[in-house]
Structure 1
Amino acid sequence: MSTLLDTITCPADLKKIPRDQLPALAEEIRAFLLETVSRTGGHLASNLGVVELSIALHYCFDSPTDRFVWDVGHQAYTHKILTGRRDRFHTQRQYHGISGFPKRSESSHDAFDTGHSSTSISAGLGMAMARELRGGSNKVVAVIGDGSMTGGIAFEALNQAGHLKKNLIVVLNDNEMSISPNVGAFSSFVSRKLTGSYFRELKKEVQGLLQNIPAIGKDILQFARRAENSLKGFLTPGMLFEALGFDYIGPIQGHNLPQLLEVFENARGLDGPVVVHVMTTKGKGYAPAETNPSAFHGVGPFDVATGKTTGGKPGTASYTGIFGDTLAQLARENEKIVAITAAMPDGTGLTGFAKEFPERFFDVGIAEQHAVTFAAGLAAEGFRPVTAIYSTFLQRAYDQVFHDVCLQNLPVVFALDRGGVVGDDGPTHHGVFDLSYLRHLPGMTLMAPKDENELRHMLKTAVSHDGPIALRYPRGAGYGIPLDQELREIPIGTGETLAEGDDVAIIAIGITVLPALEAARTLAEKGIRATVINARFVKPLDRDLILRAARRTGCIITAEENALQGGFGSAVLELLADEGMTGVRVKRLGIPDRFVEQGPQPQLRADLGIDAAGIAAATEAFLAAKGASAPALSMVK
């Protein structure tokens, strides 16, 4: 049986559907999203909430001539479906499939790559300015959520957009704020009428008449403008946007297609920057997601009937969960420990901490720069802030780590979740640069555990350290090994030898340590005896341990789940060079000079050659070439 959705292969097809049938299309899209995401996993709640909004935008605007910039991008599924990717949608976030985020290389309808928050208004303003410079007339629409609006860059962009007065439409997708239904409905009515074509033409005529009245015309016009702004400020929550130089429309019911269509048609005709404030419900149309939207923000495969996830490793705790439990344990013993997150209490494992220590838990919103400097202020006053941020998101606060923490040698703990490859979210979310961008900062201590038990001891070490310290750990389940109940501090800058051998030394960090140990067992079956070292610290390195291994074997393999440029292997090379050990041959295993696409973590590690099989194969090949004369210090990627 043919459906409305079957008839749509591009936005032009959408415009052929009568308006009164659009609500039925919205329900078809919701059913399609549920059916597909329940099998593949993905960002469900946010996408269910913007179905009508996405339909209305594509109905009223002309993509790709008109530009859509989706902030973060995890709410762009309906956009992808309407722009010709429905047949491939089952591959979204899959290995070699389409991205779960907008991607310019994937479609001309994706105007800008996104994945991190708060960038849409800046990018949209740049596009609007480019349109002006080339004399174009297309529209630019930036769709941003209320969470992303907490990012400082969003307000910086709003400020400039209001100053430049260029045509730019900002759609604020608000699914958190509570507004009285009566006030919201009346405000919506007023906003729609004040921005309609009749009112706009009348306003222009009245302004022209008033300006031509001798002596008093300009004063009357100024008074009229104040009266209009006062009326809108009294009836709508948009005073901030008006103050920044935007016309404000809203709040609009985001699941009412007739209202959305009317508003966007009005907004198209406005001159200057406009904010359209749309109220939506996360998880709209699927009760489990509406009831618990955070659980369905990013979800794995699940059963539609029950809402329960399927698959996974039953009984094996995640690194994230163990971090949260351990931090709570430490906080019971030390009242100076406080926890900070940037809008990710669930994702960073701090929900339990927040419930047990509400006065010592701070969610600063999507504002990583502020989170780091806020932590620095707490540390300056004697507290021990633990700032839990995904590795890829701490990149947004690099200057604050340098200027506000390291320069003052403040004891801020950076708990970097999702270090290394993270899987299905792809290149915007892989945390594969942190070892490189943190280790060169003076005063920074940087470590990574080989397993979940070592994570607990490293966290104890971190909160006891008098200076900046970063602890990096991977996404996903641990190995299921027993956890020591008594926590101990690990001496700063000390590694450990896990296996002894004279032929080669495999020096690994973090998630690559146990695969390196497994690789050594494979090599032993072939008569190759390998020393395996768990470095534990990227900075400071265990100099004596590494130099002894270098002298013993003359051959070193380094393994890391980080960019090779400036990473752990580079640190080992620098150590050998500084010590004049020019005869040691070194091969580094890690992330090459490219962005890593999405896919299951085991598959990506295999592709990168940093799983057990890859480490064993690279080591064997390296040793097979040992007979070739090596110039001074041999560095092989």
Structure 2
Amino acid sequence: MNTRQLIDLAQQLRVDSVRAADAAGSGHPTSSMSAADLMAVMLANHTRYDFERPQHPGNDRFVLSKGHASPLLYSAYKAAGALNEAELLTFRKAGSRLEGHPTPRRLPWVETATGSLGQGLPVGVGIALAGKRLDRTGYRVRVLCGDSELAEGSVWEAAEHAGHEHLDNLTVIVDVNRLGQRGPTRHGHDLDAYARRFGAFDWHTVEVDGHDVDAIDRAFLEADSTSGQPTVILARTLKGKGVASVQDREGLHGKPLPDAAEAIAELGGVHDRRVEVQPPPAARMLHAVRSGHLDLPRYETGDEVATRDAFGKALAALGGARGDVVALDGEVGDSTRAEFFAKEHPERYFECYIAEQQLVATAVGMAARGWVPYASTFAAFLTRAHDFVRMASISGAGVNLVGSHAGVAIGQDGPSQMGLEDLAMFRSVYDSTVLYPCDANQTAKLVVTMAGLEGIRYLRTSRGESPVIYSATEEFPVGGSKVLRASADDRLTFVAAGVTVHEALAAAEALDREGIRARVIDLYSVKPVDRATLREAAEETGCLVTVEDHREEGGLGDAVLDAFTDGRPVPRLVRLAVRTMPGSASPDEQLRAAGIDAESIAAAGRLLVETAVVR
């Protein structure tokens, strides 16, 4: 488009943003209006995209990081012919695809859910990494950020990572409109302040007047021609641009314009200009064959093997069988054992360093491009990325997360390294799957199973060695459990997972010598939980003892209680969990101090049975 056409298109985007928010009675039109010229130039002159084929491998990728500016995005879709007039005016209404913040669950052209500020650029880095190192089809990735969100630390994790990886297929456009939600931003219109920060991370920086369409056009051309560096276009804009009553004024964030009709007239009235978006070049995905021979590691019963070791070897084997599997790690691959994958499949291994938010965001970006990511770090450190996990769930992203060094069983490193809240965190995520294996063969099978699941999948692994109790031919369906000891004379049931399974078995053997029969359930699927087996155990034994190397709140005990939320009587229940603040001690000492070792479990079972008899 020429200059006049671009100006007209930008005005149309402003008008449609105002109209959408006015019809909804809510929304962020002023934040949309500031970036309208940027969107118009990008859409008309620099985007290669087939709206009929959103998964076309040659399509450029766009992420609206300032997700509250969704009226602008939807107005651009209308200009491209992807939406019609009637649907635009359903913005924010029940049943509409046009949500307050865009999500790929509703619209196929949205790469990732945004709205929690500071996440668009990190996910964009993941998409750009996929484009540069995996897909290799030449598409460009563009991310539109607001200046307010540059206060988020995740933005700078992403900026450093992009600079380190020389992502010259990535362009970030910052809408520097000076005003945040409650007032001015930290740096206002000081473009140089932002340029210095991006420049420090080895970005190519371009400063422009964000309302000069010709200057914007040149900036995109410069970004597209820059080699070896990502580019940031820093655009000085005015919030509410084009309407005198709201332009560059405070107190109007997130509100429809006071007089939409007057604003529309001031902007030149309603128009329906259509944009012929450039088609993508012919391209094909370079994913390797998705199926091949899977040669999982096999362990003999009685062997002592850490589940983290089994995870690493199983992941490497899975990578050999499936060319779409990728592995990411947070600079602890020697501990999580992701290094096994790195040695066998270096071209599909991504080091994200000590930046857990970027670790998860990269996985989300790669999943958006059709890859199957496994991202691993210590279980404790994944809590830092919880908001990225939450937003990944909103996106419907298929991501496998693996947390090692879980619980007090790690020993001497102390509480800062102990994952004690992770089960609760992942159980609370919408439509998640939470798995906690107790031995090597079980771990290997679950690693493979995860690849075929939907949504967020979490696997918890342990640092120390533990005995192999299952044969290599055993199967472990999600939502299942394994009854390891049972008899018609059982008087109570121990329910455990991971390291506490072995402690529960030892406790059951001790009680057996005293004439007290105890059932043992390995509840390896913490979510979804095996309700049928738990209810059967409750009916047949009357007493349950849950044992977990995790905080009491939200973990295994709560998962077991969920099996009895249908109104049936809740069995007599004792919950053993980590209730103290651990220090440094050996793994055995830690389990004993937390009251989740075999002796403590046996004591709890003994007391529970005695109390039941007295009553």
Per the normalisation by structure 2, the TM-score is: 0.50
Which of 1 and 2 has higher RCO (CA within 8 Å, sep 6+)?
Answer: 2
